[in-house]
Amino acid sequence: MAEIRVEQLHKAFADFVAVQDSSFTVRDGEFFCLLGPSGCGKTTTLRMIAGLELPTAGRIFLGNEDVTFKRASQRDIAFVFQLFALYPHLNVRRNIAFPLVSQGMLRSDIDKRVGEAARILRITQLLDSSVSGLSSGDRQRVALGRAIVREPLAFMMDEPLGALDSEFRELMCRELRGLHDRLKATTVYVTHDQMEAMAMADTIAIMNRGVIEQLGAPQEVYDRPASVFVADFIGAPAMNFIPFAGSYAAGAREVSISGARVAVPPLAEGVTERALLCGVRPEHVRFDDASALRAEVVGTEYLGHSQIVTLTTAVGSTLRAKVGVQVSAQRGERVGLAFDARAVSLFDEPSGRALVLDREAAHG
C-alpha cells in the first residue's frame, strides 16, 4: 500500500470550477472519506486520483511517484463503482479472476488469489454461482473481490453502497471497515451519506462547491465544525443555529441571545462586532426552568431511548433538543433552555466560518 498526496488540485470544465485548489494527504493504510452533497466535487477529485480525469492544475503523488498525468492503467489503483459492473455471462469465480486473466497471470496464481479474496469476503460458497442470481449485497462483494485480487497500492470507492437498501448499507458499512482493517489498505471512499463516513472513516474531507471545508477525524468535525456548512451537514438532527449581534471580546464568557445571557467559551483572541451565530448540537440542549432563554414546544419525535423536541424562541429561531424520554415536553408549553458552554460553537455569520474559541477556559 502507499500514501497518496494531493497538492493544489484544480479542475475546471470551461467556466465551471469543479475542484478548487484542494490539498490533502491520505496516509498509508488510512480509510479516507470524501464527503459532501451532489455536485460538490468529490467524485471528480476521486477520478483525478485514479487517473480517469486529468487535472487542470496541481499534482498527485502515489507513494513517492508523481502520477499526475499518468494513465489509470499505470497507477496500480483498483476502482469500485456504485454500479457493480459485473459480467453477467461469467460466474462469480470468473468475474473476480477477470483482471488477473487480462494480465496473463498463471492459472495457479489466479486460483490462489481468487480463493483468498472469496475467503476474506465470505463468498467461497458462491464462486460457481451465476452473478445474475445474487443479492445486491453479494454482487457488491463480488465487485470488491475483483478489486482485491489485484493487490493494488490503493482502493478508490465511488458510492459503492449507493445501490443497496438501508439494511444492506448498514451491514456493508461494518463489513467494508472490517475488510479495510484486515487488508490494511489505503482507501479513498466517496459518499454523500454522513452516516457511512462517520461509521467507517479515519479521516473525513468535507467538500462544498469544489472546496474542502474541513479535514479531520469524525469526532473532530462533529464536535468542532469549521463552518456553518459543516455544522449543518454533519449530524442528524443538524446543529442548531441562533443568530445574535453585538460586541464579543476576547475573554468574554457569555453572550446575549433573545435578552438572555448564555454561557459560551471565551474567544481565543481579538474582538468581533459582526453578526454572529451561536451553534449547539441537539444533545447539548437541556431544559432548565431557571433559564431566561425561553422557547415554545412545537413538536416531539419519540425515538425509543430518547426524543427530539422541536422548539421556537421569541425571535423565531427553531431549535431541536435531544432529551431523555422521561423529560416532559407538551406541545404549546413554554420552557427554559440551557446549553453546555463547552459544546457551544460560534460562527461569523457573513463568512460562515467558525471563531477560534478557548474551550479549555470553559471548564472553569
Listed residues 226, 246, 267: the one ending a domain: 226
pTM above the 0.95 mark? no
Q: Which of 17, 77, 15 is nearest to 209 (CA)?
A: 17
> How many other CB atoms sit within 10 Å of the CB of residue 271?
11
Residues with Cβ within 8 Å of residue 77, at least 6 apart in sequence: 49, 50, 51, 62, 152, 153, 154, 155, 156
Q: Burial letters for 187-213: b for 16+ Cβ neighbours within 10 Å, e otherwise? A: bbbbbbebebbbbbbbbbbbbbebbbb
Residue with cell 433552555: 337
> Which tens digits make up the pLDDT trace of 185-208?
899 999 999 999 999 999 999 999
**What is the 8-class DSSP label of residue 28?**
T
What was the pLDDT predicted at 269?
Answer: 63
| Domain match, 186 and 146 both | yes
Q: Which of 144, 200, 148 is nearest to 177 (CA)?
A: 200
Which residue positions in the chain have pLDDT lower than 70? 1, 163, 245-252, 268-274, 358-364
d(CA 134, CA 141): 10
What was the pLDDT predicted at 166?
Answer: 73
* 248: containing domain: 237-363
In a domain, 73, yes or no: yes
Listed residues 194, 226, 258: the one ending a domain: 226
> Virtual CA dihedral for 302, 238, 220, 170, nearest 10 degrees?
60
In a domain, 231, yes or no: no
Phi, psi of 257 (to 5 degrees): -130, 120
What was the pLDDT predicted at 364?
Answer: 47
The CATH number of whichever domain residue 303 belongs to comes to: 2.40.50.140
- Under 8 Å between Cβ of 235 and 325: no
